[in-house]
Amino acid sequence: MTKAQLIESLNFEQALGELETIVRSLETGQAPLEDSIAAYERGIALKKHCEAKLREAQAKIEKITVNKNGSIKTEPLDSGE
């Protein structure tokens, strides 16, 4: 299993937790340059993964509205109001 495949298998919380760990590690400046570069590259991949997960979640969110006649319907949250 490659690192890219491993990232794809992470849920949002797991990916965000790992990204936070990488950021804290990079902030200390204690890691060797090669390790810091690898961590930075993995951090970018994790960030992209988290953004994709957020976009997926946003697409699933719906707004519940009540019509004038009292019927209920749902529509996408960002319907342009």
pLDDT band at 26 (very low <50, low <70, confident <90, very high): very high
Q: Is residue 81 in some structural domain?
A: no
In a domain, 59, yes or no: yes
| Cα–Cα distance measured from residue 76 to residue 70, given in angstroms and rounded to the nearest whole number | 19
Residue 64 counted as domain residue: yes
| pLDDT at 1 (0 to 100) | 54
Residue 38 lies in a domain: yes
Q: Which CATH number is 54's domain given? A: 1.10.287
Residue 67's φ and ψ, nearest 5 degrees, are -75, 170
Q: Give the total number of structural domains in the chain.
A: 1
- Sequence-distant (6+) residues with CB within 8 A of 39 are 22, 25, 26, 31
Residue 5's pLDDT band (cuts 50, 70, 90): low
pTM over 0.75: no
Range of the domain at 43: 3-76
User: Is residue 41 in a domain?
Assistant: yes
Residues 6+ apart with CB under 8 A from 64: 72, 73, 74
